Structure 1
Amino acid sequence: MSDAAIAEKDLGNAAYKQKDFETAHVHYDKAIELDSTNITFYNNKAAVFFEEKKYAECVKFCEKAIEIGRETRADYKLIAKAMSRAGNAFQKQGELKTALSWFQRSLSEFRDPELVKKVKEMEKALKEAERLAYINPQLAQEEKNQGNDFFKKGDYPSAMKHYNEAVKRDPENAVLYSNRAACLTKLMEFQRALEDCDTCIKKDPKFIKGYIRKGACLVAMREWSKAQRAYEDALAVDPSNEEAREGVRTCLRSNDEDPEKAKERSMADPEVQEILRDPGMRMILEQMSNDPGAVREHLKNPEIFQKLMKLRDAGVIQMR
């Protein structure tokens, strides 16, 4: 390594710190002329171009630094640094995918903790940007209509493809989850259907079909108590809805399962088990057994209310 080249590099560094970029270039060029095999000189010159916002030139010298670094088997951290700087140059130009590619290359050389964090954030941001760019309610409606046509023909797998695409195109539309739930029920994928029903209800608590479809799915699973609860929730939205009323009547007529067997089956439900393991809930249940009137206060807490309803539907407790 040439002492004269190092001296020129040091002069370039001093000028860089003073933001005298023109002088810095002069010294780095002189260092390269004296020793063309030192990756640091190219890296430093790329840094000057970056500060000058001359991003194309910056990337060019980063690539040259990588080339020289490979030829001379330079420290992998220096090669990673050149790749990372090229990524920063592309990021400044708004070319995020290209920037991410350079950052990932840099991490393959050296896993700098800060860059790891930055890459994760960029990947997340890019994925979200792609998702948002894909949203198109008009195309979602077209996909839904095509799905409905296949559904009416009984071609449920084809209907599913269109409903899936509709949901991707308009993920906040509660109706789409309801339609897909109906299709999943026909395909006997009941758990996924229930998930779509719950999503539908969450996105639009007033959309009554979400509750009715949930009830229908639970009826298909012979979960009569849970189905009845879904239909009752529908009636809470619209007391005059005949489909929900008939659903409740169907559940009452059909729920002829032995109470002890039903309770035994419900106790195997992981959610029920989790509630019963909760010390706070055990204390509430004990209090309720000693003082039935105590339940009124607990029902004011939405979280406890939901847990008590779950236990009621499972046949673990009785509530009127």
Structure 2
Amino acid sequence: MSVDMKAKAEASKAEGNTHFTSKRYDEAIECYSSAIKFDPSNHLYFSNRAACYTAKKEFSAAKADATECIKLSPSFLKGYYRLVQSNLELSLFDEATNAAREGLKLDPDNSELQKQMRLIKAKKAAKASADRNQSLGRPASQGDAKELLELQDAMQATRREMNEVQQYLSGCQREQKMAELTKSEMSSFPSDAAMYRSVGKMFMKATRDEIESYHDSQSATLQKKEKQYNDKLEYLKKRANSQMVNYKELRGGR
């Protein structure tokens, strides 16, 4: 392809970006379509046009462009995001899931694709719940998918908080064991043995009584912390159980 054709394609893309920013989606589509005519091998033009079609809620067209984008550049993550988005809006949940999984193979920690996976599950569960309600003659809730997604995010946050508290609790318990071991070892030393207490990276000479008093104080502080962490952990467990119950109820008892 000639340099001139590529330059024309880029100029059309730049003009399309300006229209897109101003939400003039029809004009932007025309520009991106021109860019594609000049250079049909550039995946970005299809990705940008897919974004326009999505904004116009023309999801079938968006899906076609996202699919072509991925075909041209299988490592382009935004292409997978756009394909998931269009499939999701078309209620093609299995296809949306497959697209999200392919994208996550490239970047397992991609937060946007991870969020899309949660949204797929929420919308899929909400649709199943709505179908069940319809079959039983019950009114369907329009907010089920949003509530499910919010609950999933809340459950994930609770799990993270539980893991953090568990780490603090484990650290506190290790410190207590070390303090008890130190005190036990001290009892085997001669009464006139020289003793030192660590202060940061330094060691200061101290009497046995001073060291024992220090460790008793530390032990009391650690026991208090351990109780606080255990109480916090119990609270989080109850919150997690409550969230799970709400989640199952929203999904129709499944």
TM-score range, shorter chain: 0.3 to 0.5
Of the two structures, which has the highest relative contact order with CA contacts closer than 8 Å and spacing of 6 or more? 2
- TM-score of the superposed pair, with normalisation by structure 2: 0.47
What TM-score, normalized by structure 1, do the two folds share? 0.38
Larger Rg: 1
